[in-house]
Amino acid sequence: MTDRAPAQRWRPTPPLAAFAAYFSLSLLLMRSVLPYIGRRTTYPSLDPSLLIWANGWVAHALTHFENPLYSSYVFSPHGLNLLANPCSVGLALVSVPLTLLFGPLATFNLQLLLMPVASAMAMYVAVRPLVARSAGRLVAGLLWGFNPLVLCAMNWGWTNVGYLVTPPLVASYLYDTFVTQQRTPAQNGRRVAVVVAVQLLLFSELVANMFIVVLVVVTVGLALQAWRHGPVRDSIRRLRDLVVGAAPIIFVVVAPLAAYALYGPAPLAEWVWPRGVITGSSLTSLSTVVSQSTSAMYTFVSSSSSMSPTYLGWAGLIGVAALVVTRRRWAMTWWLVALALGGLWLSLGDHVGVNLWSVVWHAPVVHNMMPIRFVVWVWFAVSILAAAAVAVPNRRRSVSFVGAGLIVGSWVVASHSVFPIVSQPVHRYNVISNIARQYPRPPNIVAFPAPDSGILLIQQANEGFRFRTSGGFGPSLYNSTPDDRATYDLLNDVSFYGFLGRRAPRLSEIRQLRESFARWGVDAVVVPNRLSAPIPGFFDSTPFRTVMASAFGRPTGTSEDGSTSWWRLNEVSYPQRIPDPLRVYVCDRDQRDSLYDCLYPR
């Protein structure tokens, strides 16, 4: 008899173990949504609505041989340019099979689930040339994939912002070009170009963000090399070869995509955000970061603070601890410190005397960048520093193990403090489905709230684009004609803020509303008579219903339970006389049971 070799127990490889750890943490974050994956999500009436709609539109367009980069089903008749808006077209493209199987809402929730996992694994893979130990790479992925910017994006449903896959990959290709040199610069250039094309389809703002940072890093690196080591001909040659290798893909893929976003149908002709919004989105001072880091030393991070992308308390604490361990043992330490300080400076926007935004603000396209999103480079640097602190050779091994435990444990605690993410039901108008069936073509329907019709966008995608709408969500609201913009402003006022206690709509505004609806080809307007949880003066349908009644008279019909009214504009009897604004104000203020009898006394 021959002796049998003892059976070996299967052990997961380090990458598989890292994936399992990241995926488990993400599952915990999503535990309030996943049991209702096709019925609930985070803040469905806000930003996620456009991304859910994009999932549905891209799948619909590809299966019906239409243009997936443009749709006239929203903001009708002008339409929406998906590349010019934060629709994350690339994510919708790769998710088409899931969308066709499970629907756009369930697909969006799966995208949220995988968002921190993909970001973390990208860092885990990219940092391998710098950090040999798998424990260090695990820490790097954990800090990068679950930093406050990603957690904030996860909670608010910003899949376009939270997929931070490309920065680590670009950094690894540049590192290989100038340091390890395992591939030719041309090969790395092609990889960089592909990654840029992918990022352009995910979130174009991050492309400009990376370009600024990479330009500064490469310029400073060449200057330091020239100062300390003399000629930099070899580095410049490598940089040239990298650009030459990237050029074909840039011209064939990236440039046409950028041109379509800037000059294609329904482009964004104006600024996406007012300057005040962009300025307000930046860090206010360095003292804020210091106070956050100090408080993180003796208290658990609260969910409200870690949900803010400006929270850098743990970054400061972990970064300082990692710097103490690596400052004399690793050549890359001070490069990463400089990158973190540079990202912090850019995040301050124009709150500092010498700042980039005084120049960028006057540049085309780039002026729409949010300064606060440069905090990703702070977390990028801290993630790699923490990984090096765990992996750096140390005679006192207990220090390394304690440091690793502190970093991993503290960040897991920080992540646990925000469990679970917000979960809200997705509402729908049954009346809209019934109205859409009565038209031989997809009708144009406007519904409360308008023009930010997030609920309507999700219903449109879920029902296979059986109707159009002149509303929508996103920057296109701010890039319409002056007349359309004035109508959008009126609809926005009476949908979200109300004129109760402020002023009644002017007669000219009511007339303009009529004219805009006729120009847009609106077929029907749907308004709930009551909301399940109205917030007077902010989210109450009464002001909207009052304005519709002022413009179009009594509704065409009301649902059997009296919850919803609708106007079919080809059937309404337009009032011969628009009600006096004072009467509109009084009828809305008094919340009369018979609103239409109040507006149109017999």
Token readout for 313 is: 């308390």
DSSP H or E stretch at residue 581: helix 581-590
| Total-model pTM | 0.88
Alpha-carbon gap, residue 128 to 123, rounded angstroms? 9
H-helix segments, 95-203: 96-102, 104-126, 134-145, 148-156, 159-162, 166-175, 185-202
Task: For residue 444, list its beta bridge partners.
Answer: 468
Whether residue 538 contacts residue 579, with contact meaning beta carbons closer than 8 Å, is answered with no
Position 533 pLDDT exceeds 80:
no
3-state secondary structure of 380: helix
What pLDDT, on a 0 to 100 scale, did the predictor assign at position 343? 84
Least confident residue range of 176-185, 342-351, 464-473: 342-351
> 3-state SS of 531-577?
CCCCECCCECHHHHHHHHHHHHCCCCEECCCCCEEEEECCCCCCCCC
- Closest by CA to 52, choosing from 70, 67, 39, is 39
pLDDT at 84: 85
pLDDT tens-digit readout, 300-340 = 444 445 557 777 777 777 777 777 777 766 778 888 888 88
Nearest to 464 by CA among 175, 99, 176: 99
Instruction: Annotate 304-364 with DSSP letters as a single string.
Output: HHHTSTT--HHHHHHHHHHHHHHTTT-TTHHHHHHHHHHHHHHHTGGGSSS-SHHHHTTST
Cβ neighbours of residue 154 closer than 8 Å, sequence gap 6 or more = 29, 42, 112, 115, 116, 162, 421
pLDDT at 18 over 50: yes
pLDDT at 289: 55
Q: Is 462 exposed, middle or buried (0-12, 13-18, 19+ CB in 10 A)?
A: middle
- pLDDT band of 233, cuts 50, 70, 90: confident
Residue 329 confidence (pLDDT): 67
Residue identified by tokens 């935004």 is: 357
Average pLDDT, the chain: 79
Sheet of strand 557-558, all strands in order from the earlier edge strand to the far edge: 445-447, 524-528, 564-568, 557-558
- What is the reported pLDDT for 534? 43
Per-residue confidence band for 46, with pLDDT thresholds at 50, 70 and 90: confident
Task: Give 130 or 395, the one with higher predicted confidence.
Answer: 130
Coil, strand or helix at 448: coil
Pairwise pLDDT comparison (404 vs 166), residue with the higher score: 166
Whether residue 159 has pLDDT greater than 60? yes
In the chain, helix, strand, coil percent, each to 5? 60, 5, 35
373-389 burial, b at 16+ Cβ within 10 Å, e below that, comes to bbbbbbbbbbbbbbbbb
Write down the pLDDT at residue 276.
53
Is residue 540 exposed (0-12), middle (13-18) or buried (19+ Cβ within 10 Å)?
buried
